[in-house]
Amino acid sequence: MRKNVVLVLDFGGQYNQLIVRRIRDMGVYSELIPYSTEVEKILSFSPSGIVLTGGPNSVFSKESLIMDPRILDLGIPVLGICYGAQLIAHLKGGEVKHAPTKEYGKCPMRALPSPLFKGIPEKSTVWMSHTDYVAVPPDGYAVIADTDTCPVAAFEDAVHTVYGVQFHPEVVHTEYGNQILRNFLYEICRAEGNWNMSNFIGDMVDRIRAKVGDRKVLLAMSGGVDSAVAATLMHKAIGKNLKCVLVDHGLMRKGEADEVVAVFRDGLGMNLEKIDASERFLKKLEGVTDPESKRKIIGAEFIRVFEDYGKTLGKVGFLAQGTIYPDVIESGFGKAALIKSHHNVGGLPGVIDFDEIIEPLRDLFKDEVRKVGLELGLDKKIVMRQPFPGPGLAVRVLGAVTREKLEILREADAIMREEIAFNGLDGDIWQYFAVLTDMRSVGVMGDMRTYDYTVALRAVNSVDAMSADWARIPYEVLAKISTRIVNEVNGVNRVVYDITSKPPATIEWE
């Protein structure tokens, strides 16, 4: 049950999903929506508050993103962050200028008494990232914070509960950023803080039962945490009316398909059947090198397999999937840039042979999915299992996918996972895997010249997959992994380690 919703209007800033995460972590449900959302749609949410995000544009430019100005007159508390603050000032008749001195990074700030700064000392450190700034606030607005180079670091219209901050309270570099957001939620929006995973489960079970009734649901099972939690949630809601199917597309990790069957069917007693469709998928992928094409081919073929299988079951009303919030965002949100299509979002064909698709985890970040899994009683080793992309190893084999390349990658990946676990690092690293590049290079093995593939190792730490930092694996562990791969896996003579964070890279290479 959700009584409170704080909407975050997306103006294209790099921290937008982080704002949503911070608000949810404080016990209030939050949702990211396009800046262009109509007022009537916004009101349909009955929001307790609205946050306007940062963004790369200037309010002066032709490309500037301008929301409906009536949003500021709805009587709903508003907090503008960076570009969002400048937009409030611009729409309300204040003065926004190009800054003579750009501010990027930590900056000392002086704050005046305000509900937004309750419990925060007069002097603190904030994180700035802007070129324009508010020079003069609109009539009726008071300056409540400044820096040496930014005369209006924050402003307020306390009567109409509209606030703007030039800095970013959502990032950890802002010393009291969480307290500022908490003040907005609880002191200004008067939120109740009832967003938690227990409430989510109860609400979702009721919604699934109401939607499904006595019809059948077919669920795509991969063994990853998303589909595992989705399956368990669906099973709790509709029991025997749920049919789980594991499509072995030939793109899974070493021994993974059999492991999934052993854990979920034999161990947890779910109604699960495995379909071997590896030849079918590999034929579709033959000669395909573009990663977006791979994802869309795999997504479409998944649905075709389910359609064919569903016909053997009689009428199946719904297809259930483990889509989560980062999948939706990265597949193209509103006017946001498409980062990459996820096979279970952007890769779906236009016409499918089901009444509807159910995605019970669509609104959750990865860490929230894990919390749901633990609340449902799933074993920790299942809940904490590493993320694995829906297209599987197809997006970890760069270039054309062949059976030979898949076998090389499976063996290399298995060695990496074995050594990470053997050295006790599996609980410390969020995700780790091998990538088979499409590059061959010269090497020497046993006094013989080789010309074989390069394997790249990737290991990152993250909370929600929206951002990630590369993991600092000890050199001796990397050396052991590299030695084993080169010695034990035919076709590989070079191993490299990826030390790029997200952003600017993505976690997966494709």
**Catalytic positions, written as ranges:** 82, 168, 170
Note whether 381 and 223 are within 8 A (CB): no
* The length of the chain, given as a count of residues: 510
Per-residue CA distances from 318 to 54, 271, 307 (Å): 38, 16, 11
Phi, psi of 150, rounded to the nearest 5 degrees: -130, 100
Q: Which helix (H) or strand (E) holds 76?
A: none
Phi, psi of 20, rounded to the nearest 5 degrees: -60, -45
**Lookup: tokens for 392:** 């599987």
User: What burial class does residue 464 get, using C-beta atoms within 10 Å of its C-beta: 0-12 exposed, 13-18 middle, 19+ buried?
Assistant: buried
3 state SS for 364-399: CCHHHHHHHHHHCCCCHHHHCCCCCCCCHHHHCECC
Q: Which residues pair with 397 in a beta bridge?
A: 436
- Amino acid identity at 247: V
∠ CA 330-227-372, rounded to 5° = 90
Q: Which residues pair with 142 in a beta bridge?
A: 156
- Estimate the crossing angle of helix 475-488 against helix 403-422, to 10 degrees: 150
